[in-house]
Amino acid sequence: MVSMNTNQIEGLVGMLMVLGILVLLVLPSALGVVRDRRADRQIREAQETRETPRDRKGQKSSSRSTVPSTATWYADGRRSKKLVSS
């Protein structure tokens, strides 16, 4: 039968504590990597399924009008004011 003295038991407990703390520190990071990979895979699959019908039918033009956004309108107004005031 193998018997351990006090120093060996303390060393074992200390080593197990260090390994436990290491696992607690690494676990959230590892779970985050797994979650990111799953999200990336889902995004890639969604893009592939969305691109497939478009390739068969040809590229469709947008049905929305090409009205400039508010930011574009504002920037154009600022540019024209600068030109007039110069």
Angle value at C-alpha 29, between 39 and 14, nearest 5 degrees: 155
Query: Is residue 19 scored above 60 in pLDDT?
Result: yes
* Residue 73: per-residue pLDDT: 61
Site of tokens 């590892």: 30
pLDDT of 50 reads 85
User: Which structure tokens are listed for 13?
Assistant: 């407990």
What pTM did the predictor assign? 0.45
Distance from C-alpha of 52 to C-alpha of 84, rounded to nearest angstrom: 50
Quick: pLDDT tens for 31-72. Answer: 999 999 999 999 999 998 887 655 555 555 555 666 656 666
